Chain A
Amino acid sequence: MTEHGPATNQPDPFLLELIRSSFDAIADQMALIMLRTAHSGIVRDTMDYSTALCDAKGRTLAQGVTNPVHLGSFYDAMQCVLRRFDGDFNGGDVFIFNDPYEAAGQHLPDIYIVKPIFFAGQLVAFATTVAHHSDVGGMVPGSNAIGSTEIFQEGLRLPILKFLERGVPVQPIWDIIRLNVRVPDDVMGDLQAQMAACTICEREVEELYRRYGGDTLGAYVEHLHDYAEQLARSQIAAIPDGVYEFSDHLDGLGENPEPIALHVKITVRGSNVVVDWTGTSPQVPGGVNAPLPFTKAAAYAALRSVMSAAVPNCHGYTRPITVVAPLGSLVNVKYPGPCGIKGITGYRMIDCLFGALAKAVPDKVAADNSGGATLPTIAGYENGKAFVFCETVAGNWGAAFDHDGQDGVAHMGANQTNIPIEMIEARFPVRIEQYGIITDTGGPGTFRGGLSVIREYRLVRGEALLMVRSDKRAFPPHGLFGGHEGAPSFNIVNPETDPVVLPVMTTEPYSIKQGDVFRHIMAGGGGFGEPLSRDPARVVQDVIEERITIAGAERDYGVVIVGNPPLVDQELTRRLRQRRGISCNAVSIDAS
């Protein structure tokens, strides 16, 4: 029906826009279907899943508004699917896989469901979804083992398999999965939600092909990748040429943590970027190692975040970006290394990249954040049936050049949500005793970092195992341009009665019993700019809103607060700030 002519070398800009937005709508619709039909808390409430429409070559055309670090890694996984099953795709087939080594997966809990889509007998696209499942077996409930030393301990490994063959379930695969996971109802329910999203995608793609025809769409798929590349290049070219480096650490594993180093070198030349992780720690005997596709995804996500234009989330935008990661390192794990909790390394890679990018584009990144979602897990048996309560807890962002750090936000790498407390308590033997932010924890600066998030759990019945994947106690979030670091993180059991401090990453599950309390505190965000330059009006507002104390105002900001309602003592403040010997002029954010 289109009145636009067939595709030529030069795309019709109007048709390109129509087709691009149609692809986006399909990916979003898939995400909505999953949201509405999923079962486990981590998929349906936390939204730890992603959806995408890929072209026949397995390149992402559009992604649902979910998790950046999932989607950037789809390309490599799809190449495996294409290699393994080339010529053996049929209508009604559905593929399943999760293995990082056989299928370029991310870690075992992330199960992919992929459906090939046909038009006029030709393979034209793939509906793709990935979801973090509540459990895939392995040594700990929730399959987020920190202390694993090889992938075999981490759960059920699925190479690329047909889950449905020409629309018919491949029953043995279903039976094997059901038998190997601790919470089969959740897992099978979520897999059905993934398939439902793929079915919707198929319907919509077929409709789109009927409308525009295979030749036109085939050509415009290429145009879309080219357009995204061109737009990304225009954005990269706007970043000053140079080499920008940054180092950071994971605190380390278990009771006696050894810091695990990350080092990145970003080289910007014209419209090309090389992200090189040489200098990063070798892989470690613990689940934090990242497979290469995930490392690429982290680089794409960080660079995409400093592009101001609305670059389409398709594969084309990644073409100017090259990622170098030594095999056998933390960021390119070698077989059979474990990678069950690679998520935390993904967050740290993005933070590291932002740290480097701050030197190039200081007005486009914030100071360091609380380190990405943590993963408290409480699991056990009730009435003979396994339960796994596992949630992601998000913290804050660091301060930016013109505003304070945000409290209670998802990390840039994974736009997840929290689980309503009333839902948790209706479903698990867990009570949440506290959820909020803590005074005097944001990194001081001309703009203050976000405040530490606290979430406190009480086991109300029986016994259970407690695990947590957190970070940023030994290496709290850094500030930028004179801004200070935020408060360190903390994990403590029974803080008011019989305190036991837990490591940031528990390599061994910790046993808790009825009445025990787990207090989980995330790090405060880093500040931006010199704290003594902070506008005293902002300081007094923080005191009024109990984000900082009067003592903190004086200690961290050199601002003397008196009276009720609180007011700035201008004279004492001037003298105090002068005595500290630092000018109160606006801070410069030049990278030099």
Chain B
Amino acid sequence: MDSQCRVAVDIGGTFTDIVLLSDDGRAATRKVPSTPGNYADGVIDGVTRLLTDLGRASESVVDLLHACTVATNAILEHKGARTALITTKGFRDILTMRRIRVPRLYDPMFVKPEPLVPRNLCLEVEERLDHKGQVIRPLSRPDVHTAIARICAADVQAVAVMFLHSYANPAHEREVGAMLAEALPDHFISLSVDVLPELREYERASTTVINAYVGPPVKSYLDSLRAQLSRAGIPARLQVMLSSGGILDCQAVTRWPAQIVESGPAAGVIGAARLGRLAGYQNLITLDMGGTTAKASIIENSQISMTDEYEVGGAVSLSAELTKGGGYPLRIPAIDISEVGAGGGSLVWLDPAKAIKVGPASAGAVPGPACYDTGNDEPTVTDANVVLGYLNQSALAGGTVPLRPERSYRAIETKIAAPLGRGLMETAYGVHTIADANMMHAVKTVTTYRGRDPRDFDLFAFGGNGGVHAVSLARLLQIRRVLIPPAAGVFSAVGLLFANVEATATQAILAKTAELSLTRLEQGYRQLELRVAELMGYPADHVRYVRLMDMRYGGQASELVVAVPAGPITADALKAVEDRFELEHERRRGHRLTGNYGFELVNLRVRGVVDSTGASARPGPAAFTGTASGKAEAVRAAYFGPTIGALKTPVLPGRHGLQGAARAGPLIVEDYDGTTVVPPDCHARLDAIGNIVIDLGGAP
């Protein structure tokens, strides 16, 4: 009988990435085209073929770990369920009014995103609570019946319910929930008290509506995938990655589907955290550079960095908190990832005053860079990298994507270099540098904007283009060490293998810490712990709990999440939380507040964690080392800036060539799924796990 294995599947717009890890710690990877009609087809096809190639029986797969874009696509393409919203009388337009701000200054032609619920399906019922949860006006059941009648007449599949101040008293929402469950047993019902029992009505409404809107398509996709897995004889337990970096059983995800919107990007960061720790690096900046965008996040003391709000479908931007209004707010714990429009396919252009711009428009994977010769003549970042000699001059991805480098030369020369009156190489190098500068902002958003100094971190770069830009970007940030993990081109799928089962629950409090009852806090946390365990589908005593507080100075509007010392809540523990808050406030925001403002506790928060498997079923040090390609080392010219110029550069056919002593740059490593550029005055070596480790020399 076969040994058991775990399979991770990450679906992207173009490719579905698959990684299989057997319990002897060996991994195999596969990239297959995604199947947008029904993504499950591509998953089953890819997994089956990989199993066949490895000569494995389908019964040997015990876990299928999954990241998918089905929820994101439903929102971006407006193809979610037809959804109704039931809300407090006087507030049906909450999804239209939003938070008013527009994401760009000086744009009178801006058009707001269409609400996910049309105005005629935003239904009001009489009821009202105050901020303490006291009933100002009782719930009108006749109004609820009228709303249900309209829902029945309107071919609706999902219903969201959001009443003002329900976080302080869930009774009215629960009553409506029960009436809906009885009258509409086949509809997907989403109550704001279940999804997000926190203050701020618009963010709560938006999150609840998104949950309802993606509920039916996520359920139908996961049901279909499970059915097809079962037909294919794969008995695996299906678990799905959340935006927070945890995984949950597909049944739990079906109940709270808004959690999986950012599942793919989260998986990469989880992989970086765990592989980094395995290799002995605890402070990392992760950079995932693909075809269209680059995403950055930080890992500090092996801990990922979380945010609790982001916008789905908002413009890719540097300062997301300042540029809200372009997408759909989702207030659910997510890994703090910043994204900029700088990928291999990002278009290079000149503005009317002849300044060079890179992105955010992208040629994507189709038609792709000019050198793909598939219909795009405009230069891209990849074309600049071809001109510089960084990329293979005949084909990418191990020969599967043929290139015509002369098209890159022509595009850069005619569209950029000639109009500027500058040399071809100098121009291509400038484009490469501006792409780095754009990515530097993504990194700054998660470091200096949060009071972290990038120089205290190593850069962990993956994605198809991560290795091409990592060292030059590190130099801009004065980072001294770069890591390029194995399987960098399918690294998000690798990350899935490292995830723990996780869930989070919150409860609004809104009180000064000086006025809090410790007993009430302890009770609040106990209740949240029970809810988290229930959400995860585990007995309460199997779960490890992390208690957190959302805290701010009295009078502020913006909280920081602070960990509570382990053990029952005591006065000392509360004092410790205040101290931690002040420390973090000073670090992130540049000062401690003077004056008698006190501390405000806004939410209690509990994160539950269950280690998904024993360590044995995680990738071991030798998982990705594979075998050498057998090809010989080559040489080509690569250009490293006006001061250094072009150098004859050894090209290694795969990272095995780095085994043994460290090698000095210039050097180019061409792996199957990505290229790594090692400039002069840097040294590259391979560590025990298969990471390429590059030490930057020279002046910082």
Interface residues, chain A, CB within 8 Å of chain B?
1, 3-5, 12-14, 16-18, 20-22, 25, 28-29, 31-33, 35-41, 44-45, 47, 64-66, 68, 185-186, 188-189, 192, 195-197, 199-200, 203-204, 227, 230-231, 234-235, 301, 304-307, 309-310, 313, 354, 364-366, 394, 397, 400, 403, 406-410, 412, 415-418, 420-423, 425-426, 431-437, 453, 456, 544-547
A208→B575 CA distance, assembly (Å): 38
Please state if A304 and B106 are interface contacts (CB–CB under 8 Å). Answer: yes
Considering the chains assembled together, what is the distance between the CA atoms of A416 and B101 in angstroms? 5
B residues in contact with A415, CB < 8 Å: 101-102, 105
Task: Report how far A5 CA is from B355 CA in the complex, Å.
Answer: 18
Which residues on the B side are within 8 Å of A313 (C-beta)?
105
Tell me whether A407 and B96 are in contact (CB under 8 A): yes
Least CB distance from B209 to A in Å reads 16
| Contact B595 A189, beta carbon cutoff 8 Å | yes
Q: Which of B101, B118, B354, B641 contacts A545 (CB 8 A)?
A: B118
CB of B109 closer than 8 Å to a CB of A = yes
Q: Does chain A have a CB within 8 A of B616?
A: no
Interface contact A434-B91, CB-CB below 8 Å: yes
Cα distance A222–B239 when bound, in Å?
Answer: 57
How far does the alpha carbon of A196 sit from the alpha carbon of B585 in the complex, in Å?
A: 11
> B356 touching A400 by the CB < 8 A rule?
no
Specify which of A22, A25, A39, A231 is in contact with B353 (CB 8 Å cutoff).
Answer: A231
Can you list 26 A-B pairs, Cβ within 8 angstroms, ordered by A?
A1-B699, A3-B642, A12-B430, A13-B420, A28-B319, A29-B444, A36-B558, A36-B589, A188-B595, A199-B590, A199-B591, A305-B106, A309-B352, A364-B108, A403-B109, A406-B110, A410-B102, A412-B106, A416-B100, A416-B101, A420-B202, A421-B91, A432-B90, A434-B91, A436-B92, A545-B120
Q: Name the residue of chain A whose CB is nearest to the CB of B358.
A: A17
- On chain B, the residues within 8 Å of A196 by CB distance are 589-591
Q: Is the pair A21, B437 in contact by a Cβ cutoff of 8 Å?
A: yes
B644 vs chain A, min Cβ distance (A)? 8
**B118 cross-chain contacts in A, Cβ below 8 A:** 544-545
Contact B643–A3 (Cβ < 8 Å): yes
Asked if residues B444 and A420 are in contact (CB atoms below 8 Å), the reply is no
By the criterion CB–CB under 8 Å, are B100 and A418 in contact? yes
Is the beta-carbon distance between A417 and B99 smaller than 8 angstroms? yes
Q: Indicate which residue in B108, B553, B644 contacts A366 across the interface (CB closer than 8 Å).
A: B108
State whether A17 touches B434 (Cβ < 8 A).
yes
B438 interface residue (CB < 8 Å to A): yes
Q: Which of B109, B111, B201, B585 has the most CB of A within 10 A?
A: B109
Closest 8 CB pairs of A and B: A436-B93, A14-B430, A434-B90, A231-B353, A44-B557, A408-B97, A39-B555, A545-B119
* Contact across chains for B434 and A409 when beta carbons are under 8 A apart: no
Residues of B near A547 (CB, < 8 A) are 119
From A32, A421, A456, B321 is in contact (CB under 8 Å) with A32
17 extra interface residue pairs, beta carbon distance < 8 Å, beyond A189-B597, A406-B110, A436-B94:
A3-B642, A21-B437, A22-B437, A32-B319, A32-B449, A68-B106, A189-B593, A192-B591, A195-B591, A196-B590, A354-B108, A406-B112, A408-B97, A408-B112, A416-B100, A436-B90, A545-B120
Most chain B beta-carbon contacts within 10 A, residue among A13, A364, A418:
A13
Interface residue? B318 (CB, 8 A): yes
Contact B93 A13 (CB under 8 A): no
CB of B441 closer than 8 Å to a CB of A: yes
| Known contacts A31-B319, A204-B448, A420-B199; A230/B99 CB under 8 A | no
CB pair B96 A28 closer than 8 Å: no
Bound-state CA distance A235–B352 (Å) is: 8
Q: Interface residue tally of chain B, by bracket?
A: 35 or more
- A426/B108 in contact, CB under 8 A: no
Task: Tell me, yes or no, whether B627 is within 8 Å of chain A by CB.
Answer: no
Q: Is the CB of A422 within 8 A of B96?
A: no
CB of B101 within 8 A of CB of A47, answer yes
Q: Say if the beta carbon of B48 comes within 8 Å of chain A.
A: no
In the complex, B107 has a CB within 8 A of chain A: yes
A456 to chain B, nearest CB (A): 7
Bound complex: CA A17 to CA B203 (Å): 36
User: Whole-angstrom distance from the CB of A168 to the nearest CB of chain B?
Assistant: 13
B contact residues around A310 at 8 Å (CB): 351, 357
* A8 to B: closest C-beta gap in Å: 14
Alpha-carbon separation in the docked complex, A48 to B119 (Å): 30
B475 within 8 A of A: yes
Q: Is B433 an interface residue (CB 8 A)?
A: yes
With most chain A CB atoms within 10 A of its CB, the pick from B111, B165, B355 is B355
Contact A408 B93 (CB under 8 A): yes
B189-207 at interface with A (beta carbon < 8 Å): 199-203
Residue of A nearest to B593 (CB): A192
Q: Are A546 and B120 in contact (CB under 8 A)?
A: yes
- Name the residue in A200, A418, A436 with the highest tally of chain B Cβ atoms < 10 Å from its Cβ: A436
Chain A residues within 8 Å of B109, by CB: 364, 366, 400, 403
B400 contacts the other chain (CB 8 A): no
Q: Does B131 contact A (CB under 8 A)?
A: yes
Q: Which of B111, B120, B475, B591 is the one whose CB lies under 8 Å from A544?
A: B120
Q: Do B558 and A25 touch across chains, with their CB atoms under 8 A apart? A: no
State whether A423 touches B120 (Cβ < 8 A): no
Q: Considering only CB atoms, which chain B residue lies closest to A226 in the complex?
A: B353
Any A CB within 8 A of the CB of B62: no
Whether, in the assembled complex, B73 has its beta carbon less than 8 Å from a beta carbon of chain A, the answer is no
Residue of B nearest to A301 (CB): B106
Is B571 on the interface with A (CB-CB < 8 A)? no
With a CB–CB cut-off of 8 A, which chain A residues contact B357? 17, 310
Q: How far is the CA of A407 from the CA of B100 in the complex (A)?
A: 9
- Please, which residue of chain B has its CB at the minimum distance from the CB of A230? B353
Contacts A189-B593, A400-B109, A426-B510; A37 near B556 (Cβ below 8 A): yes
A59 vs B105: C-alpha distance when bound (angstroms): 20
Query: Complex Cα distance A431/B119, Å?
Result: 24
**Nearest CB of chain A from residue B696's CB, rounded to whole Å:** 11
In the bound complex, how far is the Cα of B444 from the Cα of A391, in angstroms? 33
Contact digits for B62-93, partner A, Cβ 8 Å, 1 yes 0 no: 00000000000000000000000000001111
A422 with B93: CB separation less than 8 A: no
Considering the chains assembled together, what is the distance between the CA atoms of A195 and B94 in angstroms? 35
A89 to chain B: closest CB distance in Å? 21
Instruction: Take A3-B642, A436-B91 as given contacts and tell me if A16 and B318 are in contact as well, using a CB distance cutoff of 8 Å.
Output: no
